């Protein structure tokens, strides 16, 4: 297949490397003035990978889109809406679009596929690729399992057939609402985990995992999804990579925040937390962990007080 990666960050560049190795014709597109793109174009390397000559690297969006059977978008979730008009300027009727990104639009609470659907023809098939794993682990040959979901059944099975290898085993998602919300929300739980690490309270991560999954499952159910999706690979299955890994941006952000240190990389969970609270209000679902994380980020309470109130003081039934 001719596959174009729109975005050359750590995920976009890894996916391009991965799909090239599995036998596809790959183009990686990026912004001409982005440091990550300039490094990739000039050296065919980044801090994880070396890219074979078989991969085309371009800043020409028309070239990248026109020649693609499948387009995989891997950019910041909050930049998706502003990017879509550029993409929609090209014929997309026969294209397949896959979002390998996790987030919820902060101002509207919309899932990412909902945003894409606003700009593409009804005929265009849209799916998501989410689940556990870090490019650093995959590039070292450490396998994992991931999920592909879509409201188009034929697209899910087609993509899994095209993308599967010994490195990544794909499962078929059957709940797009739950898959997208669960995948995005794990970043908020990751920030909370980092806060626990920063306070030397890592032993409470077990409680965080249990209560966090239950909290997000209630929201998914209220939104019309299957609450069991929160216990799948999109959310709970991604906790190891998000709550424990040194590569997790969200965990690291939470840890550095409570230590009073600055984190300069993208932590999608910051905006996702705000969006989750918007959805919690809209669907009348109590989200105590999300609320606490947001209050700590905003400086309204200290992490020690907020997390203590969550896990150490209140008396509640577990279920």
Residue 315: pLDDT over 90: no
Both structure tokens of 172: 């078929």
Both structure tokens of 233: 């690979």
Nearest alpha carbon to residue 206 among 239, 232, 248, 178: 239
**CA 312 from centre of chain:** 30
Per-residue pLDDT band at 314 (split at 50, 70, 90): low
pLDDT in tens, 113-158: 999 999 999 999 999 999 999 999 999 999 999 999 999 999 999 9
State the virtual CA torsion across 238, 243, 245, 249 in degrees, nearest 10: 100
The overall pTM is greater than 0.85: yes
Q: Which of 95, 102, 156, 186 is catalytic?
A: 186
pLDDT in tens, 207-217: 999 999 999 99
Give catalytic status of residue 316 as yes or no: no
pLDDT in tens, 146-182: 999 999 999 999 999 999 999 999 999 999 999 999 9
**Cα gap 276→40, rounded to integer Å:** 35
Nearest alpha carbon to residue 189 among 105, 267, 77: 267
DSSP 19-51: HHHTT-EEEEE--TT-HHHHHHHHHSB-SS-B-
Q: What is the CA radius of gyration of the chain?
A: 19
Q: How many CB atoms lie within 10 A of CB 14?
A: 23
Q: Output the pLDDT for position 206.
A: 96
Q: Output the pLDDT for position 288.
A: 96
Q: Output the pLDDT for position 312.
A: 75
Q: Is the dihedral of CA 246, 30, 130, 254 positive or negative?
A: positive
Sheet containing 70-73: order of strands:
56-58, 25-29, 2-6, 70-73, 96-99, 125-130, 144-150, 168-172
Per-residue pLDDT band at 311 (split at 50, 70, 90): confident
Q: Which fold has domain 184-313?
A: 1.10.1040
The helix/strand count (H/E) of the chain reads as 14, 8
- To which CATH superfamily is domain 2-172 assigned? NAD(P)-binding Rossmann-like Domain (3.40.50.720)
What is the domain partition of the chain in residue ranges?
2-172, 184-313
Per-residue pLDDT band at 313 (split at 50, 70, 90): low
pLDDT in tens, 55-79: 999 999 999 999 999 999 999 999 9
Residue 90: pLDDT over 70: yes
**Cα gap 291→280, rounded to integer Å:** 10
Mean pLDDT of the residues in the chain: 95
Q: Output the pLDDT for position 308.
A: 87
Pairing of strands 96-99, 125-130: parallel
């Amino acid at each position: 297949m001719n596959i174009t990666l729109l975005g050359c960050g750590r995920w976009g560049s890894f996916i391009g490397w991965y799909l090239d190795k599995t036998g596809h014709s790959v183009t990686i597109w990026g912004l001409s003035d982005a440091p990550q793109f300039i490094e990739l174009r000039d050296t065919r390397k980044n801090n994880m990978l070396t890219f074979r000559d078989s991969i085309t690297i371009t800043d020409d969006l028309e070239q990248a889109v026109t020649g693609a059977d499948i387009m995989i978008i891997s950019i910041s979730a909050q930049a998706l809406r502003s990017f879509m008009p550029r993409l929609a300027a090209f014929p997309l009727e026969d294209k397949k679009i896959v979002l390998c990104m996790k987030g919820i639009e902060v101002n509207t609470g919309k899932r990412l596929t909902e945003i894409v659907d606003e700009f593409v023809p009804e005929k265009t098939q849209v799916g998501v690729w989410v689940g556990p794993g870090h490019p650093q682990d995959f590039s070292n040959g450490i396998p994992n399992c991931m999920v592909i979901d879509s409201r188009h059944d034929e697209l899910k099975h087609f993509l899994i057939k095209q993308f599967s290898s010994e490195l990544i085993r794909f499962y078929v998602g059957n709940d797009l609402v739950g898959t997208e919300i669960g995948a995005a929300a794990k970043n908020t739980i990751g920030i909370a985990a980092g806060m626990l690490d920063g306070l030397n309270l890592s032993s409470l991560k077990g409680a965080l995992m249990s209560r966090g999954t239950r909290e997000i499952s209630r929201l998914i159910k209220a939104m019309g999804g299957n609450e069991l999706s929160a216990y799948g690979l999109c959310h709970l299955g991604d906790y190891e990579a998000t709550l424990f890994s040194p590569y997790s941006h969200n965990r690291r952000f939470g840890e550095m925040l409570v230590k009073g240190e600055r984190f300069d990389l993208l932590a999608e969970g910051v905006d996702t937390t705000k969006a989750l609270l918007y959805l919690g209000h809209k669907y009348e679902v109590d989200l105590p962990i999300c609320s606490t994380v947001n209050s700590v980020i905003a400086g309204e309470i200290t992490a020690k007080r907020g997390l203590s109130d969550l896990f150490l003081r209140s008396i509640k039934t577990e279920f």
